[in-house]
Amino acid sequence: MVSVTANTNTKKDVHLANQPRSNRPFASLYWQRQAEGQSKFHIGLFVSILLLTALASMVLFIPLMYNYNMLAFYTINNKDVPCGNSCRIEIVETIPEGLVYNETLNHLDTFNLWKNLIWNANSSIDIASFYWTMRENETYAHPSSKKGEEIYQALLNAGLRRNITIRIAQNEPTTFQKNPDTEYLAQIKAAEVRSLNFTKLVGAGVLHTKFWIIDKKHVYIGSANMDWRALTHVKELGVAIHDCPCIAADLGKVFDVYWALGESNEVPSKWPEKYSTRYNANNPLNVSFSDKTNLVYISSAPPSFSPKGRTHDIDALLRTIINAKQFIYISVMDYFPLNLYTHRYKFWPIIDNEIRRAVIERGVNVKILISHWRSTRPMIFKFMNSLRSLDRVNGKVRVETKKFKVLSTPDQDKIPFARVNHNKYMVTDNGVFIGTSNWSADYFTDTAGVSFVMTTNSTLDNTLREQLVEVFNRDWNSSYAQNIY
């Protein structure tokens, strides 16, 4: 795992607050919150007129809306991509070597998932990635790097000997991250590789995405980079979705965006229709996992990479918070209400405000688990303490914060950029948000990432949401999680 380095580019800042209104996010909750408090009279008048219009037309349009939604559940750009009842979903984790819990949760290991996905692939493997350090003893000589080497050799074999089409979209290599792994795969024609230059595309940021698509029907989205340490020494969490062509097809549209940008190095003023999606926060996919119906969609960042219909990552995150009624559990490596990777910090409280609003106005309990490792910025604890100051402000409503530290032996401590909880997810009483981004402004405004978002009304055990609650509680109650003071 490698941290995003500070951007020293002098081009214009692309913070959302500085964008003209014509460039602002589609149906953006961000701008909805920014507009609150302005012209209450006009807003009230508009809402009244809108309600009257809606009531007058409801009888005419509800049947049409119903039929459209049923079609949208199974159609992408007029091509049928059925999901049916075949979709399976599961949590995927990397538990770092030496990390031992008092309780055992049997989730699929990242290494085994990736290995199985490669060996079971029949036609295609698409990988969107930040950087690659998979080879044995690459970056640092250590026996545990063998798992990365095994995955790399499996990909090489798939591309050369099994005639599997492999496409890799990655952040453009730098002096610090040269990506010889993908350079070699491309050189021997085991894979086609395209690199995205964010300086040219956006003016700042990186391709921070981490997802796989296999045979246009199997998907992995999560925190794990293409790095042997992500299989052995970094705590990772993601989601695997099997036999689900509708989700794979929609995520494939995000990959297609990266693939196009890797060739043109220019963001179009308007994305062609073929990149658009019908599935978003307002019209999610209706997918059955284990005979339980869930509403699902894929969100993405930055806004300029999101064609028509795609919900932006920040909007998806805010909606998950807003929809929570009882609790919000957040596990993320970094949490900063700031632009971190600019010459000067800029205050960006949009997520922070929504959490506070949930506590004060709706009485929602909040727990936040951040990471504590050698690269932690000390000011993160001040922001955690600021949130924790709301604990019991609203009666018995709790706001609690902890830091998770992955302990190391002297040998493990020598491994660079390792031994950290790299998770990036949120789970509530009715929703799941599993992403690839840390929580600071930069990751939503000029850095590429995706999230798997799910809403469910199921209160039964063995759902993805319940399993994610169990994962959070396991970490929260472990000896590795300590209170922040």
- pLDDT tens column, 334-380: 999 999 999 999 999 999 999 999 999 999 999 999 999 999 999 99
Look at residues 2, 1, 3, 15 and name the one whose alpha carbon lies nearest to residue 342.
15
pLDDT of residue 368: 99
Q: Which of 107, 142, 147, 208 is catalytic?
A: 208
Handedness of CA 443, 444, 448, 453 (dihedral sign): positive
Residue 127's pLDDT band, with cuts at 50, 70 and 90, is very high
In a domain, residue 329? The reply is yes
- In the numeric block, which tokens belong to residue 216? 């246009």
Catalytic, 218? Answer no
Strand, coil or helix: 461: coil
> pLDDT: is 9 or 284 the higher one?
284
- pLDDT tens column, 406-423: 999 999 999 999 999 999
In a domain, residue 351? The reply is yes
Residue 100's pLDDT band, with cuts at 50, 70 and 90, is very high
pLDDT of residue 176: 87
In a domain, residue 303? The reply is yes
Q: Is the pLDDT of residue 18 over 90?
A: no
Alpha carbons within 13 angstroms on the beta-carbon side of residue 258 total 33
pLDDT of residue 3: 42
In a domain, residue 54? The reply is no
Catalytic, 210? Answer yes
In a domain, residue 195? The reply is yes
Kindly report which listed range (55-59, 63-67, 306-310, 326-330) carries the lowest average pLDDT score: 63-67
In a domain, residue 67? The reply is no
Catalytic, 372? Answer no
Bridge partners of 453, per DSSP, are 297, 433
For residues 473-485, average pLDDT? 97
Look at residues 338, 340, 352 and name the one whose alpha carbon lies nearest to residue 388.
352
In a domain, residue 24? The reply is no
> What residue type is 29 in one-letter code?
L
In a domain, residue 5? The reply is no
Residue 35's pLDDT band, with cuts at 50, 70 and 90, is low
pLDDT of residue 138: 85
Q: Which of 109, 200, 215, 216 is catalytic?
A: 215
pLDDT of residue 103: 87
Residue 383's pLDDT band, with cuts at 50, 70 and 90, is very high
pLDDT of residue 462: 57
pLDDT of residue 244: 96
Q: Is the pLDDT of residue 10 over 80?
A: no
CATH number at residue 257: 3.30.870.10
Residue 459's pLDDT band, with cuts at 50, 70 and 90, is low
> pLDDT: is 479 or 461 the higher one?
479
Give the integer Cα–Cα distance in Å for 372 and 375. Answer: 8
- pLDDT tens column, 306-329: 999 999 999 999 999 999 999 999
Mean pLDDT of the chain: 88
Q: What is the percent of the chain where pLDDT is above 70?
A: 82
Catalytic, 208? Answer yes
Kindly report which listed range (9-18, 132-141, 310-319, 320-329) carries the lowest average pLDDT score: 9-18
Give the integer Cα–Cα distance in Å for 124 and 259. Answer: 15
Specify the number of domains making up the chain: 1
Residue 363's domain comprises 79-483
pLDDT of residue 216: 98
Give the integer Cα–Cα distance in Å for 37 and 432. Answer: 30
Q: Which of 126, 403, 422, 475 is catalytic?
A: 422
Catalytic, 429? Answer yes
- pLDDT tens column, 431-443: 999 999 999 999 9
pLDDT of residue 412: 97
Kindly report which listed range (38-42, 155-159, 182-186, 262-266) carries the lowest average pLDDT score: 38-42
Q: Which of 107, 142, 147, 210 is catalytic?
A: 210
Q: Which of 109, 243, 256, 429 is catalytic?
A: 429
Catalytic, 422? Answer yes
With a CB cutoff of 8 Å and minimum separation 6, the contacts of 403 are: 369, 370, 371, 372, 376, 381, 384, 481, 482, 484
Q: Which of 424, 442, 446, 475 is catalytic?
A: 424
Look at residues 348, 288, 330 and name the one whose alpha carbon lies nearest to residue 434.
330
pLDDT of residue 456: 85
pLDDT of residue 30: 60
Bond into 173 cis (ω within 30) = no
